[in-house]
Amino acid sequence: PNCIFCKIVSGELPSRRIYEDERAVAFLDIAAWHRGHSLVVPKRHVPDIITGSGSLSEIAAAVDAVARLLKHRLAADGINLLLSAGDAAGQEVFHTHMHVVPRYADEPGLRRLINPGAAPDGELESVYRQIQAGA
Ligand code: 5GP
Ligand code: ZN
């Protein structure tokens, strides 16, 4: 399929990749809600967790690892996980993905989770360098 996340997995499209295991890849979201907002996707193309089975278990270990990585490298105060399945739920890219969103004490609470446009210019590159630097 003509899928942007398949192209990110294969390397055909660039991304700031922060983690990878046998079954999953994680990279920074291009439009972060909070500093370090990342997506974890299965390497296999699965449109969503309802129409395809098994995709949640394929990314589970990577989600766990990425949550810890972001917490420690970015000194986050908390983490939200969010996964949407279907148009009605707000899914926009139909390749299963878990949002892993670091949260900071100065902007607390579930109501402030989705905060588009939060990342100023240059933020993605600086957060990427900060995650790499701890490697
Ligand atoms: P959804 O609404 O489907 O759960 O979320 C899709 C997410 O993918 C959005 O947060 C959006 O910013 C992100 N996204 C869309 N296209 C790209 C891309 O080309 N690269 C990256 N890194 N993230 C993307
Ligand atoms: Zn795909």
> Tens of pLDDT along 36-45?
999 999 999 9
Does the pLDDT value for residue 53 go beyond 90? Answer: no
> pLDDT of 59-110, one tens digit each?
999 999 999 999 999 999 999 999 999 999 999 999 999 999 999 999 999 9
The pLDDT value given to residue 131? 96
Please answer whether residues 44 and 23 qualify as being in contact, where contact means their C-beta atoms are separated by less than 8 angstroms: yes
CA 86 distance to own-chain centroid: 18
As a whole number of angstroms, the distance between CA 78 and CA 39 comes to 16
User: pTM of the entire structure?
Assistant: 0.97
> Tokens 């500093």 appear where?
35
pLDDT band at 118 (very low <50, low <70, confident <90, very high): low
Residue 106 Cα to ligand 1 midpoint, Å, equals 25
Of 9, 49, 92, best ligand 1 pocket probe by most atoms within 8 Å of the beta carbon: 92
Handedness of CA 58, 13, 83, 47 (dihedral sign): negative
For the Cβ of 48 lying below 6 angstroms from any atom of ligand 1, the answer is no
What string of DSSP letters covers 23-64? SEEEEE-TT-SSTT-EEEEESS--S-TTTSSSHHHHHHHHHH
- Tell which residue, 89, 95, 131, 94, has the closest CA to residue 114: 89
Catalytic residue status for 97: yes
The SS3 call for residue 95 is: coil
